Homo-oligomer: A and B are copies of this chain.
Amino acid sequence: MNASTPSYDQLTATWTRMHHLSHLQSIAGWDQAANMPPKGNEARANALAEMAALLHRMRTDPLLPDQLQRAEQEPLTAMQRANLREIRRQWQGANALPEALVQRQRLATSRCEHAWRQQRPANDWKGFVANFKPVLAGAREEAELLSQRMGVRKYDALMDRFEPGMTCDKVDRVFGPVRQWLPGLIQRVLDKQAHEPVMQPVGPFAVQAQRQLCEQVMRLLRFDFDAGRLDVSTHPFCGGVPEDVRMTTRFREDDFLGSLMGTVHETGHGRYEQNLPRQWLGQPVAEARSMALHESQSLSFEMQLGSHPGFVRQLAPMISAALGEQPAFEPDNLHRLMTRVQRGLIRVDADEVTYPAHIILRYEIERPLIEGDIEPEDIPGLWDTKMQELLGLDTRGNYKDGPMQDVHWPEALFGYFPCYSLGAMYAAQWFAAMRRAMPDLDQRIDAGDLAPVFDWLQAHIWSQASLWPTDELATRASGETLNPAHLKAHLESRYL
């Protein structure tokens, strides 16, 4: 223990212990999704709940406030100061809410989410609202408490859990312009694509061949298989720990492209985790910056790079080699397939052009919902109006493909949705910065040289972890804070 920073050292020792214990939590969580047989579920749930309770006790240890205060007076390096800032953030997150409220909300979301699994296919909006009301009540109570403690608006306080420092003002500043130009852009893209025929691939595609293709593309993207794996789960995700990243995908014999591009997406998350700075691992400063930053990595891989014509030309022969030659695998056609735009009801199926419409709609509903300006009964009407405005779609009476389509609201994940589109904007901003620094970037990607992309992300994002608040990270990386003009320029350049 360093004589001059005893309290800081005590804190880092505690966080290292939690890093070790939550390693087991992460691996068991991945196993639950990827391996676990059904009868193991109850024992696993008990085990994970025990660990969650243990980690919660560690984060709410009454010794911590004093240690935090003392540590803040100690002579710390810049890195240590950044780490201490993130330790305090995590401590605040764990100590901000009374345990009774947390428990009550856990019950409410668990009940709502469980019923939603049946209610959604049954299109049972009324039944859903009955369970959703207590969830919303709990979320409002949490928002109220956090807002008072942090001195920010209620919805800001909820967003801050996923995107530190994000506020409605900032979201409005970036979503505002998008809302203006997006509907027109969608129409122009659809008009243009109406004259571009596209050939559909003809399946079935053997799962084993798809798996090998995915692993090959992950290698092309430099995923380190000595420090991670690809497995199968119902809902693809990137889990595990930075030292051992566990990615999952799912395979459909009639559609290889969904699985392949989903894998490219998760590989972006995976490489961020695999390249977080090793020397501070176990400390909050070495963790990924935020949800939007994480999504900016997966979308840098899936959209910016993965759907780049030069990258698609590299993919095409790998696809033909894995699945057999067919006309649809010709590079230009493959690129048209991957950039096909369609107005649709379902967010997770949306392309990169229409996707922000789904997010803006949710943001414009969940924000007044949290602030108490609207009630759950108002949602379907608002949903339909906004779907008409943004995508020209009629959703009346269709709750299951409307406000009931996502798990986020049953689980009270208010403030999470904006991160998806903020991530898309950051990704466009990173690539714009790369092109300024390397004017021949596109030619190099066309020539099959992906190293400049990875080197830039490594230097500006991955290695920076949580050293800086997000705005400062963005400014250091790209010379400006979040600027939605880059997404607009990217979409216009690729789709018009």
Q: Which residues of chain A have a CB within 8 Å of any CB of chain B?
A: 17, 20-21, 23-25, 27-28, 31, 35-40, 42-44, 46-51, 54, 224-229, 241, 243-244, 281
Contact = CB atoms under 8 A, between A and B. Distances in A.
A22 to B, nearest CB: 9
B37 A23 contact: no
A440 B388 CA distance: 77
A46 B20 contact: yes
Q: Is the interface of A mostly helix, strand, loop or mixed?
A: helix
Contact of A43 (B38, B51, B244): B244
A352 B229 CA distance: 39
A42 B243 contact: yes
Contacts of A44: 23, 27, 243-244
B24 A25 contact: yes
A37 B226 contact: yes
9 contacts: A20-B43, A23-B47, A24-B25, A37-B229, A39-B226, A40-B241, A40-B244, A42-B243, A43-B281
A298 to B, nearest CB: 21
A247 B92 CA distance: 43
Nearest to A31: B27
Contacts of A225: 37
A281 B54 CA distance: 21
Nearest to A36: B244
A268 to B, nearest CB: 19
A35 B243 CA distance: 14
B24 A243 contact: no
Given A37-B226, A39-B243, A227-B40, A47 B20 contact: yes
Contacts of A224: 39
A342 B239 CA distance: 49
A334 B42 CA distance: 42
Given A39-B227, A224-B39, A50 B243 contact: no
Contacts of A46: 20, 23
Q: Quick one: which of A24, A25, A28 has the most chain B CB within 10 A?
A: A24
A231 B229 CA distance: 15
Contact of A40 (B28, B39, B243): B243
